[in-house]
Amino acid sequence: MIRRLNYTGRKKIPRSAITIRLLPTDDGGYAFAAEIDLSALGFPNDARVFIEAYNTASYMRFSFGTIATRRDPKDLRLVDITPRPLPKFRLKVVDQTTRHGLLLGVADKLVPLRPHEDIANKQSLLPVDFCDLGEQIWRLELSDWPLLELNNRIDAIGEAARSGDSFLALVYPEVLRRILNEIVVVLDEIDPEFDDSEWTSLWLRYVCSLPGVNEPPSGITEEAKARRSEWIDDAVQAFCRSRQARRRFETALSKDAG
Amino acid sequence: MGTLLRALNTTGIERFQGYLTDLRDGTPGDPPWELLEEMGCTAELPVDMMIEPPNFPNRLALGEYLCDVLAPLRPEETDRNTGLWAWLSLFLFDQVCPTGKHPIRRPGSDYRHIPDFGYRTRHRHLLYGPYQVYRRHGHSSILLLSGPVHSESRIYHDIAGRQDLIANRGVVEATAMLYLDRARGVPKQGAQAETASPGTIRRFVRVLQQLDVNYDIYGMSGKDIVTLLPSEFDAWRKQKRTRRASRS
């Protein structure tokens, strides 16, 4: 991963300062509502506040006035954003007193709450979205922030994903494996302390908190890469152990057998 | 009159995939065009649409055509519809996988013909990629979508492969301002160098990613972005066309 320098002292806006919730619209799309509190961050009064919504190649930008005078746009419908994959958001505070707007603060990759989702899920490591996946049961979307998509054609899939023993034993280990592969092999990110607002760091921290899991091996040699694959295996094993995946799967099997 | 647009179903996709595998294994054969109208291999779309595509001179014309013809469908009916894009690929197989000088077609990876909507490969589908770029940027994507239908340019690859760049209208405009030979509608010579030497498209991408940390790139026009770039881009800023063309 190429490191980028923050040479103008741009601030990181904590995720706790903003809550975004998707709202269904009559035409089957989404609008959104935003709660923002930037009062404690010391931005100049005339700095402009923007929220950007985006996914894959679609993008929209909304102006929320200035730090001193917030003006919510009248129309917050995401008309240019495709409903899938679930849109994400970015909050920006911009100094527009010069030709090239200088970023004073950013909160990036904000995952919105779905219309009736509990606020407790706001900072979920693995947000869930329900959509039509045809014959597929689940799908992992890895752009920007890992998102577990579940097939909304299946009744009670949400409950199964939340507390089903079979689901836990069969699906989540594979989800974890793919996420860790993306982080340590594809993105070459191994530092759990790199950035506490990046999903890569948050996932590494979570995995390293499991009993018996150390930080991923460093190094750029083939041997080091091989050790990372072994580390992923060990981490998935530790996850299964901590969740008692085998025992729970056996219990589920015996229930099925009647 | 044209042909009724449909979508391949699971069986149709598997058979098309089998054909692609055979081609890669060196087994020549005509594309399985019979699948296009076989009831057991296809599904109807919500709207009846007839298509009769021409030979496209470049990916821009292709993107424009697809946007026109698919306009009756809602975005959610096109955006993750593997069967629709696979059907279109098979229908246009002579254009997305021409025989050219070689007697055997060379299809490349499956995702070029049967879309994989993962973020690393979704733009690589030879029809869905240009469609999506043209839908967002229209004619401003002239540079990104230059070149023949069956191949992607490096500029397309470097910009379209990065969600933060391809979504940004200013970036697409700036790319054309720097690297488009407007007289010929193609990239200026040297812009697509493999190495990240000063001023090339690869450097452009890296510099933008750095500037994006401190500047509100999304709020800028293409012109603003170009003026913000460091001096290594001066030669491209001044150059209106490729050096060779300007001498002639």
Strand partners, A89: A53, A110
Compute the distance between CA of residue A216 and CA of residue A233 in angstroms, rounded to an integer.
Answer: 11
Radius of gyration of chain B (CA): 19
The pLDDT > 70 percentage for chain B reads: 96
In this prediction, residue B242 carries a pLDDT of 52
**SS3 of A71-110:** CCCCCCECCCCCCCCCCEEEEEEEECCCCCCEEEEEEEEE
In this prediction, residue A149 carries a pLDDT of 93
Sorting pLDDT into bands at 50, 70 and 90, what band is B240?
low
Q: In this complex, which of B10, B132, B209 lies closest to A57 when CB atoms are compared? A: B132
The nearest alpha carbon in chain B to A136 belongs to B10
Chain centroid to Cα B68, Å, comes to 16
pLDDT of A258 over the 80 cut: no
pLDDT of B148 over the 50 cut: yes
In this prediction, residue A3 carries a pLDDT of 61
Omega prior to A85 cis, within 30 of 0: yes
Contact list in B for residue A135 (CB cut-off 8 A) is 10
- Tens of pLDDT, residue by residue over B121-144, are 999 999 999 999 999 999 999 999
User: Chain B: nearest CA to A142, how far in angstroms?
Assistant: 7
In this prediction, residue A6 carries a pLDDT of 77
Please give the model's pTM, rounded to 2 decimal places. Answer: 0.83
pLDDT of A255 over the 60 cut: yes
Contact list in A for residue B218 (CB cut-off 8 A) is 52, 59, 61, 92
**Taking CB atoms and an 8 Å limit, are A50 and B209 in contact across chains?**
no
Cα of first residue to Cα of last residue in chain A, in angstroms, is 51
Sorting pLDDT into bands at 50, 70 and 90, what band is B180?
very high
In this prediction, residue A168 carries a pLDDT of 95
The pLDDT > 90 percentage for chain B reads: 74
Using an 8 Å CB-CB cutoff, list residues of chain B that contact chain A.
Answer: 10, 75-76, 79-80, 118-119, 122-123, 132-133, 136, 160, 163, 166-168, 206, 209-210, 212-216, 218-220, 224, 227-228
- Tens of pLDDT, residue by residue over A220-252, are 788 888 899 999 999 999 999 999 999 999 999
**Taking CB atoms and an 8 Å limit, are B133 and A57 in contact across chains?**
yes
Using an 8 Å CB-CB cutoff, list residues of chain A that contact chain B.
Answer: 2, 4-8, 10, 28, 50, 52, 54, 56-59, 61, 82-84, 92, 94, 96, 99-103, 135, 141-144
DSSP state of A47: -
Sorting pLDDT into bands at 50, 70 and 90, what band is A123?
confident
Sorting pLDDT into bands at 50, 70 and 90, what band is B246?
very low
Sorting pLDDT into bands at 50, 70 and 90, what band is B245?
very low
Mean pLDDT for chain B? 91
- Tens of pLDDT, residue by residue over A26-47, are 887 899 999 999 999 999 999 9
In this prediction, residue A2 carries a pLDDT of 56
- Tens of pLDDT, residue by residue over B183-223, are 888 899 888 887 778 899 999 999 999 999 999 999 999 99
Compute the distance between CA of residue A177 and CA of residue B32 in angstroms, rounded to an integer.
Answer: 37
Q: In this complex, which of A59, A103, A142 lies closest to B167 when CB atoms are compared? A: A59
pLDDT of B98 over the 90 cut: yes
What is the average per-residue pLDDT within A110-120?
85
